Amino acid sequence: MFVEALREVVENTDGALAGLLMDFEGIPLESYVKPGASFDIEVLGAEFSVIVKSVQRTVTSLDAGGAKEVAVQADKVTTLIRVLTSDYFVAVALSPDANLGKGRYMLRVAAPKLIEELT
Amino acid sequence: MFVEALREVVENTDGALAGLLMDFEGIPLESYVKPGASFDIEVLGAEFSVIVKSVQRTVTSLDAGGAKEVAVQADKVTTLIRVLTSDYFVAVALSPDANLGKGRYMLRVAAPKLIEELT
């Protein structure tokens, strides 16, 4: 089920390379890499779980509400992260020329389904 | 000069609350808060400087190139961060219903001018 949801996000977003469902300890639950893309999404996810955690702490300490979404654009890859629950997040890695808006939309649509299965 | 560039970003982005130029130690160089907005942008900036730093470390260790842009969407505020140099970044805080794309565009346009003055 999880892999189906990740596949849907990746395959319906131009330029998406991989999708990942992971807990904040950095342990992957499920991942989907676009066929042909060589990309270690699990390494990326583990690194970003640390970042999302510190973002959450910061946002909470500022009373700005919980962090819902984090996007990081680097030279070679863009990472979109959406916090699902206090334990899990979903991430998608995209090429720099990817359709970022579509990626955010697809994550937003996938989130309720993922949350339902996680809780 | 710096405050002029920040003012331009904030006043030309629907929903923008404040802009900030800061170094990665968390020390503000200049800030501009939209008249009427009560917002401690410097506290937000100091917290986010830590996050941007860890994002940069992560992205570099993954050989994905330097982090250019980080966006964090929380319930009550969205923060857009654009890395300018190895020492400085510019951030803008927006309300959740703000025009995010316009904010990103305005930061992208302001960046070269800010970099020129910083270096």
Query: Which positions ≥6 away from B38 have C-beta within 8 Å?
Result: none
Query: For B80-86, what is the mean pLDDT?
Result: 91
DSSP string, B51-112: HHHHHHHHHHHTTS--EEEEEEEESS-EEEEEE-SSSEEEEEEE-TTS-HHHHHHHHHHHHH
Among the partner residues A58, A62, A76, nearest to B64 by beta-carbon distance: A76
A44, A49, A51: which to substitute to probe chain B, counting the most B Cβ within 10 Å? A51
B62, B63, B82, B108: which to substitute to probe chain A, counting the most A Cβ within 10 Å? B62
Residue A18, helix vs strand vs coil:
strand
pTM of this structure:
0.84
Residue-wise pLDDT for A59-88, tens only, equals: 777 777 777 889 988 888 899 999 999 889
**ipTM of this predicted complex?**
0.79
Residue-wise pLDDT for B15-50, tens only, equals: 999 999 999 888 899 999 999 877 777 777 887 888
Question: How many Cβ atoms from other residues are within 10 Å of residue A111's Cβ?
Answer: 19
Residue B76 has pLDDT above 90, yes or no: no
Residue A116 has pLDDT above 80, yes or no: yes
Question: Which chain B residues are Cβ-neighbours of A65 within 8 angstroms?
Answer: 74-77
Cβ atoms of residues A80 and A97 within 8 Å? no
Which pair of structure tokens corresponds to residue B96? 């959740």
Question: Which chain B residues are Cβ-neighbours of A47 within 8 angstroms?
Answer: 58, 61-62
Residue-wise pLDDT for A8-33, tens only, equals: 999 999 999 999 999 988 889 999 99
Question: Which chain A residues are Cβ-neighbours of B58 within 8 angstroms?
Answer: 47-48, 50-51
Residue-wise pLDDT for A45-66, tens only, equals: 887 888 888 888 877 777 777 7
